[in-house]
A and B are shown apart, each in its own frame.
Chain A
Amino acid sequence: MEYFLELFFSGLTRGSIYALIALGYTMVYGIIELINFAHGEIYMIGAFVGLVVAGVLSSFGFPAASIVILATIAAVIYAASYGYTIEKIAYRPLRGAPRLSPLISAIGMSIFLQNYVMLSQTSDFLSFPSLIPEFGFLKNYESMIGSTDFLIIAVAAIVMVGLNLFIKFTRMGKAMRATAQNRKMAMLVGINVDQVISATFVIGSALAAIGGVLIASHIGQINFFIGFIAGIKAFTAAVLGGIGSVPGAMLGGLILGWTESFCTGYVSSDYEDVFAFALLVLILIFRPSGLLGKAPIQKV
């Protein structure tokens, strides 16, 4: 039972990270039906900003707790501005173009950002300071869940609840839902669609940056390529849950995390990816729109 719980929490941590990144994919897709392949790079950039800010602050002798908060805030602001800019220069000019063009533009952006960070920083792995202090409030369960795991799960949970409330109750949230439903109609009732799309990119990027800083301080190292695999996994999670659906992305992230963790624990880590993607294929066969996705209504 203890082993099961250990794997459960290990999967929950991993899944929370996937979910945080997957939200960005799913929100953007929900509104403009574009898969933003540069999203994984935003997560990576968030982690890099966190590293730089944490390094500067710790050299000034700031206390650990304030470093975590300030580094995360800096990463969020920086990544959000990246998300905003990417949308402006890479996707907005292609708004009316065939669907393939923005997709290729997204892949190009992803490769550009990877190489840009590689050249401007380094291609080596860098050590990320463990920003989150070890606290032993769960003395007997330390082996199951550490302080970083706990914080990742807690932050992810808070962010998700917050995001749901935001979408349900704020003006911008309502505008986002309206735009997702029908962009033309939203425009007709006076919603500034461009603004809504920018807001979506900003929010998605901010969430990815939080994920980036948290996971980097959990595993203690980053390099320019971490966004690629995390991005692919998060995208998978988004599709699993039903791309376009916010709760779907959360559910998809957790399911993917648990699948990988339990598969490693009870079968073999050799087959971690095999099981994860086999699950994706199975779900897409039986529920083509994902677990919580809605099948598009086709008018005949």
Chain B
Amino acid sequence: MKRSLLVLLVAAMMTIGSFGSAIAGKIVLGVPGAHSGDLAAYGLPTVDAAKLVVKSINESGGVNGMQVELSTQDDQCKPEFATNAAMKLLSDGVTVVLGHICSGATKAALPIYKDSNLVCMSPSATSPSLTLSGDYPNFFRTIASDDAQGALAAMFAAEKLGLKKPAIIHDKGDYGKGFAEWTQKYLEEKGIKAVLFEGVTPGAVDYSAVVQKVKASGADGVIFGGYHPEASKIVSQMRKKKMTIPFLSDDGVKAKTFIDITGKAAEGVYATGPQDITANPMYKVALDQFKAANAGKEPGAFYFEAYSAALALLKAIDYAKSTDYDKIVEALRTHEVETPVGKIKFDAKGDAIGVGFSVYQVQNGEYVEVK
């Protein structure tokens, strides 16, 4: 009996303690994500980025004259922990949320933030449904979603290559098939129907039968979703059979090893891949800050996306001159911010405009961006 009373007392004290920060006129940046467990490597760089952004903003006078505080919560990328983390952030009185890291965890936590009118911005959750479904008007992200690559491939195939009858092949995997399906969907929206949509078995001895089939279908181009070993075999056999139609693939193929193993047949192959962000002025700032704080280390996964998201969130509060939900959302959609991933603002669905993929082509044994 006595012990439970003690627990209650401690809990009450902790609650009061955490309410304290909300009352004191501070801005609290919540950072939920995988900070332990096997996916910590994806979550911890976001904490690094948030710390550095908050530090530099506090040093230059804070947001609207208020200092920014961090509140980190571990969700291990597990949906059931993500809801707990979200509840804890609410009781911490967070102003905005930077996270979560994994799409599943993000999806679990989003309704909680939505009910409390909190903006949530992920640096790494790429599941298309998070923005496309329209269920989460409070969700934003600084990484291109999985369908963006398909959309770009479809646009490029239709407008630049002028394909009318493409053949779409994939490797039956989540990634490759997903790319193929999104590309097909966007091609159909443009009124282009694929003459062939098929999966091949990764690692099969050869693909000459499927290549024959592409040839017999009269396709004027091949779009492939998958990784470079299969792409290499298919494109080699196409060129061997004197098929010169264009070959377009995804960032699983946009790798130097693809060119190495495919050799001459790789010439002219198109592949979508993440935009080169190293030329952005803020990229260097973010990188230098990281190196100054962590000597001899390289920033981890999604560090630059997280840095951009933290900047975008805090600058939006600054621009809105308020912590009001509607005003922050309005600022995110209308006000452009200079970030490591480029000069961005957000579209009505929450995806960052100006972040995404480019199309590359193999020219003389190198991937060159196609303008």
Q: Which residues of A contact B (CB under 8 A)?
A: 3, 6-7, 10-11, 13-14, 17-18, 124-127, 142-143, 146, 148-149, 215, 218-221, 223, 225-226, 228-230, 233, 260-262, 264-265, 268-270, 272-273
> Which of A220, A230, A233 gathers the greatest number of chain B CB atoms within 10 Å?
A220
B104 within 8 A of A: no
B185-226 with Cβ < 8 A to chain A? 198-201, 203-206, 208-210, 212-213, 215-216
Min CB distance, B214 to chain A, in Å?
10
Min CB distance, B257 to chain A, in Å?
6
Given A127-B261, A269-B209, A143 contacting B242 (CB threshold 8 A)? yes
Which residue of B is nearest A6, CB measured? B212
Please give the number of chain B residues whose Cβ is less than 8 angstroms from any Cβ of chain A in the complex.
31
A143 close to B241 (CB less than 8 A): yes
Q: How far is the CA of A149 from the CA of B265 in the complex (A)?
A: 18
Q: How far is the CA of A273 from the CA of B198 in the complex (A)?
A: 14
A270 close to B172 (CB less than 8 A): yes
B240 within 8 A of A: yes
The interface-forming segment of B230-238, B275-283, B306-314, B319-327 is B230-238
> Which of A219, A261, A262, A268 gathers the greatest number of chain B CB atoms within 10 Å?
A219
B203 close to A229 (CB less than 8 A): yes
The interface residues of chain A lying within 8 Å CB-to-CB of B210 are 264, 269
A218 close to B206 (CB less than 8 A): yes
The interface residues of chain B lying within 8 Å CB-to-CB of A273 are 201
The interface residues of chain A lying within 8 Å CB-to-CB of B232 are 125, 220-221
A interface, over-half SS: helix
A142 close to B236 (CB less than 8 A): no
B257 close to A124 (CB less than 8 A): yes
A270 close to B205 (CB less than 8 A): no
The interface residues of chain B lying within 8 Å CB-to-CB of A260 are 209
The interface residues of chain B lying within 8 Å CB-to-CB of A125 are 228-229, 232, 257, 261
The interface residues of chain A lying within 8 Å CB-to-CB of B257 are 124-125
Min CB distance, A64 to chain B, in Å?
15
A221 close to B206 (CB less than 8 A): no
B71 within 8 A of A: no
The interface residues of chain B lying within 8 Å CB-to-CB of A11 are 209
B205 close to A215 (CB less than 8 A): yes
B262 close to A265 (CB less than 8 A): no
A17 close to B205 (CB less than 8 A): yes
Given A125-B261, A143-B215, A270-B198, A221 contacting B233 (CB threshold 8 A)? yes
B206 close to A127 (CB less than 8 A): no
A220 close to B203 (CB less than 8 A): no
B263 within 8 A of A: yes
Q: How far is the CA of A143 from the CA of B216 in the complex (A)?
A: 11
Given A3-B212, A215-B205, A270-B172, A146 contacting B240 (CB threshold 8 A)? yes
A10 close to B208 (CB less than 8 A): yes
